[in-house]
């Protein structure tokens, strides 16, 4: 049988329809893959029993001819999504042990369409980070981290005789063990989602993107990451970071998988006041393969001083790939780009400081008692929040405080409007925009951690998309000199994911990226 972990979700759906294998068989293979991938620390909760229960229900629906559009596909769910009856913590100590009595709208939509949940995925605490190193549960390791595969002999007992044998008395068998020689970050905040998809232990995963948290990790691990238009997917039941920026989206192995998964995730939700009431297209139907006449904007402001030459070469390569398929490159200007990062790091922390005020030890989550109510608040928040979360709360509180609101927050909102206007003008001349996804390949865990500003620069190419509420997608295009994945980003008009996905599939097809991470050799 074909190695089921190497299939795309779309290929797996075709195989399920042909009855080449069952949803249970597909799920069992991926449960074993999740177990093999534990050295990556991608999961904070594994749910194999729930997954098998959902897979059996999927097989029953398919037998009745009632299969949904995503039926039987094993996925991982970022720990930011509330899942009924399954711990949901936003990878923060302050929510450790919290089990929601309700389901987020996005995961409910996926389960309605037949998705199978293998577990909850690690992430930067409250989605604040660009490297997945701020999680209370420890950092996620990029499966592209270099290492060596060693083989050991270990004792095992013959089937049925385990209870009668003591350790070391069974027959020896080979055991493969992957040892990292350097641990790389998978990007953040959706690093667990990215690592799990790249390591082929889930077929797809949910992510959230506030300033690049789907696209940047997708670029770091060599997968596809799609941030839809703000309002396309409901935010209800997703732990809030910055409410005017947060958006859920799919992280997948291929562009077609992203199109199929987005159709299940998206839809109007009256419980979310920012959800847009408009029909959800069949995104996969837009993947015609024809981009002749498509105008591709190349923003001059994204050519930054100090950008590695290999990133610039990759960008030029992407332009040529699209040109050869009939697209027309167009030079455009986004003049307020240089203000995007400081604007984002005023707006996002301001909204975070408001959203995180609810974690006070009274209603849910961790509580650290004190001699007074004020002491209890302070003790709970000091013990429950990590350093990066505390930093952003303090920044947000400062820019919203009396005397600084006009100088910082109000001015940032005005610049945000200008950034949106830049894109509006650019899209009069082009249909999509092509940029790098990130200014570098993945870096080592522990590097850049002493300089928060350096970490924030990882989002330099992605934050503008969130500030303007646009859809964006990262597609793996090549490898760095160190043989690490590099991605390119396409940006589309609001609610024009069809054109965005069509261009992304053309880029994907031309790039022909099929490289697998080194860790895959040790996860067999």
Residue 95's contacts (CB-CB under 8 Å, 6 or more residues apart) are: 88, 89, 239, 359, 364, 365, 366, 384
- How far apart CA 242 and CA 211 sit, in angstroms, is 10
HSE of 252 in the Cβ direction (CA atoms, 13 Å)? 26
Q: Residues 133-164, buried b or exposed e (16+ Cβ, 10 A)?
A: bbbbbebbbbbbbebeeeeeeeeeeeeeeeee
Residues annotated as catalytic are 78, 189, 213
DSSP track, 438-456: -SSS--BTTTTTT-HHHHH
Contact criterion met (CB below 8 Å) for 330 and 430: yes
Contact criterion met (CB below 8 Å) for 296 and 432: yes
Q: Of 341, 508, 343, which is closest to residue 439 (Cα–Cα)?
A: 341
Q: Of 270, 194, 274, which is closest to residue 226 (Cα–Cα)?
A: 194
CA 4 from centroid of its chain's CA atoms: 22
The DSSP 8-state label assigned to residue 520 in this structure reads: G
Residue 76's contacts (CB-CB under 8 Å, 6 or more residues apart) are: 42, 43, 117, 118, 119, 120, 121, 192, 193, 196, 197, 201, 202, 204, 205, 206
Q: What are phi and psi of 512, to 5 degrees?
A: 60, 40
Interhelix angle 309-324/497-511, rounded to 10 degrees, is 100
CA distances for 348 relative to 235, 335, 413, 463, angstroms: 16, 21, 11, 10
CA distances for 205 relative to 115, 118, 196, 208, 289, angstroms: 10, 10, 8, 10, 25
- How far apart CA 89 and CA 96 sit, in angstroms, is 6
CA distances for 148 relative to 126, 153, 174, 467, angstroms: 33, 17, 16, 42
Full 3-state SS string of 280-331: CCCHHHHCCCCCCCCEEEEEHHHCCCCCCHHHHHHHHHHHHHHHHCCCEEEE
Apex CA 473: angle with CA 472 and CA 479, to 5°? Answer: 140
HSE of 437 in the Cβ direction (CA atoms, 13 Å)? 35
């Amino acid at each position: 049988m074909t190695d089921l972990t190497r299939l795309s979700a779309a290929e797996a759906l075709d195989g399920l329809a042909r009855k080449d294998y069952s949803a249970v068989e597909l799920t069992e293979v991926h449960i074993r893959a999740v177990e093999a991938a534990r050295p990556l620390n991608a999961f904070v909760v594994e749910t194999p029993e729930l997954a098998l229960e959902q897979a059996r229900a999927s097989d029953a629906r398919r037998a009745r001819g009632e299969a949904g559009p995503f039926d039987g596909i094993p996925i991982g769910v970022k720990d930011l999504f509330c899942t009924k009856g399954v711990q949901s913590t936003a990878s923060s100590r302050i929510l450790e042990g919290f089990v929601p009595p309700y389901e987020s709208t996005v995961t409910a939509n996926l389960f309605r369409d037949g998705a199978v949940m293998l577990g909850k995925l690690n992430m930067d605490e409250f989605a604040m980070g660009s490297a997945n190193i701020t999680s209370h549960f420890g950092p996620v390791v990029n499966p592209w981290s270099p290492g060596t595969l060693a083989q050991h002999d270990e004792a095992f007992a013959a089937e049925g005789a385990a209870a009668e044998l003591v350790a070391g008395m069974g027959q020896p068998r080979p055991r493969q063990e992957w040892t990292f020689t350097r641990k790389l970050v998978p990007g953040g905040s959706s690093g667990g989602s990215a690592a799990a998809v790249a390591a082929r232990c889930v077929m797809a995963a949910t992510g959230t993107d506030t300033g690049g948290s789907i696209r940047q990790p997708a670029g770091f691990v060599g997968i596809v990451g799609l941030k839809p238009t703000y309002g396309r997917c409901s935010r209800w039941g997703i732990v809030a970071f910055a409410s005017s920026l947060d958006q859920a989206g799919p992280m997948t192995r291929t562009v077609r998988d992203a199109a199929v998964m987005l159709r299940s995730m998206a839809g109007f939700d009256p419980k979310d006041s920012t959800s847009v009431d408009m029909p959800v297209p069949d995104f996969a139907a837009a993947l015609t393969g024809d981009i002749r006449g498509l105008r591709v904007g190349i923003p001059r402001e994204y050519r930054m001083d100090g950008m590695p030459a290999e990133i610039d070469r990759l960008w030029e390569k992407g332009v040529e790939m699209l040109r050869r398929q009939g697209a027309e490159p167009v030079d455009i200007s986004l003049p307020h780009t240089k203000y995007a990062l400081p604007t984002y790091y005023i707006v996002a922390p301001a909204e975070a400081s408001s959203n995180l005020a609810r974690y006070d030890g009274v209603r849910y989550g961790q509580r650290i008692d004190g001699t007074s109510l004020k002491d209890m608040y302070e003790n709970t928040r000091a013990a429950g929040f990590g350093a990066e979360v505390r930093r952003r709360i303090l920044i947000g509180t400062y820019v919203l405080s009396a005397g600084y609101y006009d100088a910082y927050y109000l001015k940032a909102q005005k610049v945000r409007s200008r950034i949106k206007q830049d894109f509006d003008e650019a899209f009069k001349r082009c249909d999509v925009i092509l940029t790098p996804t990130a200014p570098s390949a993945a870096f080592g865990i522990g590097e850049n951690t002493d300089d928060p500003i350096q970490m924030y620069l990882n989002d330099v190419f992605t934050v503008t998309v969130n500030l303007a509420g646009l859809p964006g997608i990262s597609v793996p295009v090549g490898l760095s000199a160190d043989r690490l994945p590099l991605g390119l980003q396409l940006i589309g008009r609001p609610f024009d994911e069809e054109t965005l996905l069509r261009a992304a599939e053309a880029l994907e097809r031309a790039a022909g990226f099929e490289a697998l991470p080194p860790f895959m050799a040790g996860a067999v």
